[in-house]
Amino acid sequence: MLPTQINIHCQLLQSDWLDRQGHMMSQGDRYGIGPIINQYQVPQLPDIDMRHLPHTPLSPSHVIACLRTQDLLCSSTERLTISPSAQGHINGISYWMDLVLTPAVHLTKTRGVFCVNPGVRCDPHSPLVVEMTYEPGYMKLDIVQ
C-alpha cells in the first residue's frame, strides 16, 4: 500500500545534547583542528529521535507541509509562522513524517532533527518563520530571520 499523502510535522526545541554532539572539544584536540571541524558541523541528524534525548520543546508541533505522493518529484518551499510557547534558545527543529495510507490509517516514520546554528533566542511574543525546502530525495528545515 502506497501513501496518498505525506504530512511533515515540526517542533522547535532546545537541547544541550545538540550543542555538545557536533562540536570537537579542545581537551582532545592535540592538532588544533577543532575550530575547523566545528565550523562545518552537519546540520541534519536524520536518525535522531529527540523523544529519547533530554530536550525542552519550545513550541507545539505543527504540520509544515502536506505533500501528495504524485508531487514528490517536484521541488517546493513552504513557510510557517510559529509562536514559541516558552522562552528559550532554539538550537534544533525536530521533524517527523506522517504517511497517510487511507483516511483512517496513518503511519509515522522518519524522525530526525535539524540543528539551528547559531541558535535563536525566542519568546512567546515574537513569532518565528520556519522554512521547509523540499527537493526530490532531500528536505531541509531552517528558521528564516
pLDDT value of residue 28: 59
Mean of pLDDT values over 66-82: 93
Tell me the CATH class for 5-25+43-144: mainly beta
Amino acid (one-letter) located at 57: P
Q: Is residue 9 very low, low, confident or very high in pLDDT (cuts 50, 70, 90)?
A: very high
pLDDT greater than 80 at residue 24: no
Residues 6+ positions from 96 with CB-CB distance below 8 Å = 8, 9, 108, 109, 110, 111, 112
Q: Is the pTM of this model over 0.85?
A: no
Q: Which of 108, 115, 76, 118 is nearest to 94 (CA)?
A: 115
